Amino acid sequence: MSERKTGVYLCSGCGIGEAVAMDELETVAVKEFKAPHCAQHAMLCGEEGVETIRADLAEGKVNQLVIGACSPRVMTDRFQFDNAQVIRANLRELVSWSHAPGDEDTQAAAADYVRMAITQASKTTAPEPWIEGEYSQRIMVVGGGSTGLMAAREAAEAGHEVLLVERSDRLGGHARGYAKVIPHRPPYRDPQPNDIEALIAAVENDPLITVKTNCHVTKTSGMPGKFQVELANGAGPSNETVGAIVVATGWRPYDPSKLGHLGYGVSPDVVTNVELEKILAAGQPKRPSNGQAPKAVAFIQCAGSRDPDHLPYCSSVCCASSIKQALQLVEADPECSTYIVYDELRTPGVAEEFYRSAQAKGVIFLKGKVKSVGANLTVVVDDALIGEEVPLEGLDMVVLATGMVPNTTIPDLPYENSEYAAAQLQADINPLSPIPVAGYQGEAPAPLPRPADNPPPGAPILNLQYRQGPHIPMLADGFSDSHYICFPYETRRTGIYTCGPVRRPMDMGEAAEDAAGAVMKAVQVVRNAAKGASVHPRSGDLSFPRIGYNTCTKCRRCTVECPFGAIDEDEKEYPVVNPTRCRRCGTCMGACPVRTISFDNYSVEMISSMIKAVEVPDEFEEKPRVLILACENDAYPALDMAGINRHTYSPHVRVIPVRCLGSVSLVWISTALESGYDGIVLMGCKPGDDYQCHFVKGSAMAKERMGKIADTLKSMALETERVAQMEVSIAESHKIGPMIDDYMATIDRIGLSPLKGF
């Protein structure tokens, strides 16, 4: 940046002017910080206010803006100006709407937020994006089942070239064997014709789509816009460059040989729902044992599902699938009696119409648990409605509704049965594993052996050449890991998206919508990569981590702790950033013990300077000062919402938003303590099985680091309560006030910091 000309603009609207003295804030900017230009306005976001700023920029009065007004999370479109970096001071939600108007402590808070914003402006520069070479706009879709076909079509319709890779010799997957499918169009009352052949034809005839069958991925390296993919098929290996990857490898049925307790194997007439699909697709339904038409068929739901000894989860689609098959049997032979035995029937949304249609057509639903299935096909049901065991006799077939197992690995053998796969998955199967995570330590994993035509059991689908290992990170049950609330298609590998049953169990209609969503994300990432911009959740951020190699100790903590595998190591063991993989969370910065990693607009020095910019009362004023480092994704929005709802809390806290608690440097804690702060709060997202951390494990990392902080406090003869971690979701703004005030009560109890005045 050329010479900084920082303009400070203070808005008195929305009650700010009634809560604090604006002239005093202007004095802070002009007298304390020698701001070359400062102006007040009654409605800065209005057309007149915006035009005032534009005019000052055009005249060259200012080239950097500090705007003291509402939260930086709002009015972003109004306060966005070409060729000018904007820093926001939150005087509305954090001050005038959450503290008493006219109070000296409220005024002090407003002044400190202005001080911090001006200081931030002096310690940051507008980021320059990383743009180097050509960026591919082509999207690779892995998996040629119904989901992959839909993904390929959606990407092509968006104008992108598509490379569709299918491991088998033909497209269509499971869906190719279905006579009819669960309805996904109104009126949702009857099984629909299967249109998979038309979809296959559309894909094969699309000039933007290249189809490769009998093909699988043997190696994936690079980053969004520059993925280097090695493929293998009978013709030999080939190398492709793609911009993004959509994984739609689908599912496989749960192994029925494990369901002997439900009769599988005792009779050929005990079949799975997948096996029944083949029978229905062949024409008139026939019993496997004698070829005769079945007259009585029982469907057993949750066959090996929702069972800690088998699949712990519900596959969701099984209920509607059994209804579809029962209706197909009734349609083929109206005299056929069909029974669906369920514990909890799951037909949400439009599927409820499907369930009612089945009831009207004579399908009998029995709520209860199956106790046994005999060799003569007698099914004993513990009926939950009448409280007795009821035998279903005279059955011709029993159908086990087995669940979906995701194909997150090569599906020759289940990954859970493979020692090879278990070892490779250990590092990333749980996003909240203790730190350091097993598998991350020591040397980076060597590239995996991957024979072109004979991949080992449990081998990864993409064989990622990442420091963190070859697999797409997945949850303990094998489905791809994602932030299911905010980012349902993203994996922890930027530019790689999953959709369909590999992400969660779903039917073909849901999977088609899922494919469209994943492709939209893939389109976003290839276009952003070409601009050097980040995606989710800091979409559009042009910054990326810069490493000072002169002071780097090659400790590998940045490569180890990056949740997204964005950092590799070169032949000299120095960290190498893959910029378009990076999500800009700053975890690497928080992990670096020598503070050699920073961003143009976010650094250890910047936050440290902001911390020191606050006026901390001395010990004689008897007013505490507490620093809150608030995660910008959950905690800071919750603080904003607390202000919007006029929830009040102690005016003695000062809030600095951080990208993620994983980015918090221990230097900031020591700086605050040395500056005389009486307490520090790390306020972040809630961890857990349904984690809410937008950067996966930032809160967990902060909690791990808290142990080191506690040791440091003890060595300084300070109470461990002076540094605390709080968890809050974006929906818990009503808890913010009590949480802060309870902590302030703790500070009152233990007293002001003995470091004040030193």
* Chain segment 523-541, per-residue pLDDT in tens: 999 999 999 999 988 999 9
Residue 226 has pLDDT above 50, yes or no: yes
The pair of structure tokens assigned to 697 is 């494990």
- Please check whether residue 289 is in contact with residue 268, taking contact to mean a CB–CB distance below 8 angstroms: yes
> Is the confidence at residue 451, as pLDDT, over 60?
no
State residue 410's pLDDT score. 54
What band does 472 get if pLDDT is binned at 50, 70 and 90? confident
Q: What is the pLDDT of residues 314-332, one digit of tens each?
A: 998 999 999 999 999 999 9
| Tokens representing residue 708 in the block | 């080191």
* pLDDT on residue 469: 78
Domain 1-126: assigned CATH number: 3.40.50
Q: Taking Cα atoms as reference points, which of 151, 144, 146 lies closest to residue 171? A: 144
Domain ranges of the chain: 1-126, 139-251+407-433+456-531, 255-402, 546-598, 602-758
Which CATH number among 2.60.120.20, 3.40.50.261, 3.20.20.140, 3.30.70.20 corresponds to the domain 546-598? 3.30.70.20
pLDDT of residue 683: 96
Summarize the confidence of residues 200-216 as an average pLDDT: 96
Please tell me if the domain spanning 1-126 has the same topology as the one spanning 602-758: yes
**Residue 626: is its pLDDT beyond 90?**
yes
Render pLDDT for 663-709 as a digit per residue (tens, 0 to 9). 999 999 999 999 999 999 999 987 765 557 888 888 888 888 887 88
Q: In sequence order, what DSSP letters do the residues of 295-317 get, joined into one string?
A: SEEEEEEEETBS-TTSB-S--SH
Each residue of 713-726: pLDDT tens digit?
A: 888 888 999 999 99
Nearest to 604, CA basis, from 618, 590, 614: 590
| Whole-angstrom distance, CA of residue 237 vs CA of residue 220 | 13
Task: Specify the pLDDT at position 688.
Answer: 62
pLDDT at 485 over 90: no
| CATH superfamily of the 139-251+407-433+456-531 domain | FAD/NAD(P)-binding domain (3.50.50.60)
Angle between helices 604-613 and 104-122 (to 10 degrees): 150
Burial 321-336 (b: 16+ CB within 10 A, else e): bbbbbbbbbbeeeeeb
- What integer pLDDT is reported at residue 413 of this predicted model? 36
- pLDDT value of residue 349: 83
DSSP state of 410: -
- Mean pLDDT, the chain, as a whole number? 90
User: What pLDDT band is residue 160 in, cutting at 50, 70 and 90?
Assistant: very high
User: What is the residue-wise DSSP string for 578-646?
Assistant: -GGG-----HHHHH-TT--EEBTTB-HHHHHHHHHHS----TTTT---EEEEEETTTHHHHHHHHHHTT
Rounded distance between C-alpha atoms, residue 386 and residue 368, angstroms: 10
CB-count burial class (<10 Å; 0-12, 13-18, 19+) for 613: buried
Q: Which residue from 231, 251, 247, 249 is spatially nearest to 239, judged by alpha carbons? A: 231
289 band by pLDDT with thresholds 50, 70 and 90: very high
Q: Which tokens hold the place of 470?
A: 């070859």
The yes/no answer on whether domain 602-758 falls in CATH 1.10.3470 is no
Residue 124: the pLDDT is 95
- The CATH number of 255-402, from 3.50.50.60, 3.40.50.2300, 3.10.290.10, 3.40.50.300, is 3.50.50.60
